[in-house]
Amino acid sequence: MFHCNGWCFPWSITAVGGTHVCLRSVSAQSILAELKSHPITHLCGAPVVMGMIVEAQMERLERPVAFATAGSPPPVPILREMSGLDSK
C-alpha cells in the first residue's frame, strides 16, 4: 500500500474480486519478478520506485501495467522510460 493513491487499492481491488500481490520489501528485482510471474495490471509506488524499475529493467514487459504514483512528480525522463517498458 502506498500512501495517497495506494490506500484505496486494498479495499477497491478486493471489492471487485481482484488479487493482491504484496512484497515484504521494495526492490526492483522483486517487483520485476512479480510482474513477470503474475498477471499484474496495476501497482502503486513512490516516484523513486519508478526510477528503480527503470534502472533495473533489462527487457520489455509482456503487457502494459498501470502505475499509480503520488508525492513529488517523477522526472520527465523517468515517465518517458516507464511508458516505453510495455510491449507496444
Q: What pLDDT is stored for residue 24 in this prediction?
A: 85
Written as nine digits, the cell of 55 is: 534502472
With residues binned 3-state (H G I as helix, E B as strand, rest as coil), the percentages for the chain, rounded to 5, are: 45, 5, 50
Write the pLDDT tens digit of every residue in 73-88.
888 888 888 887 654 4
Please check whether residue 50 lies inside any domain of the structure.
yes
Please check whether residue 88 lies inside any domain of the structure.
no
Please check whether residue 25 lies inside any domain of the structure.
yes
Domain count, the chain: 1
Write the pLDDT tens digit of every residue in 13-58.
889 988 888 888 889 999 989 988 999 988 888 888 888 988 887 6
pTM for this one?
0.74
Inter-residue contact 86 to 60 (CB < 8 Å):
yes
- Tell me what the pLDDT averaged over the chain comes to: 81
Domain range for 77 is: 4-83
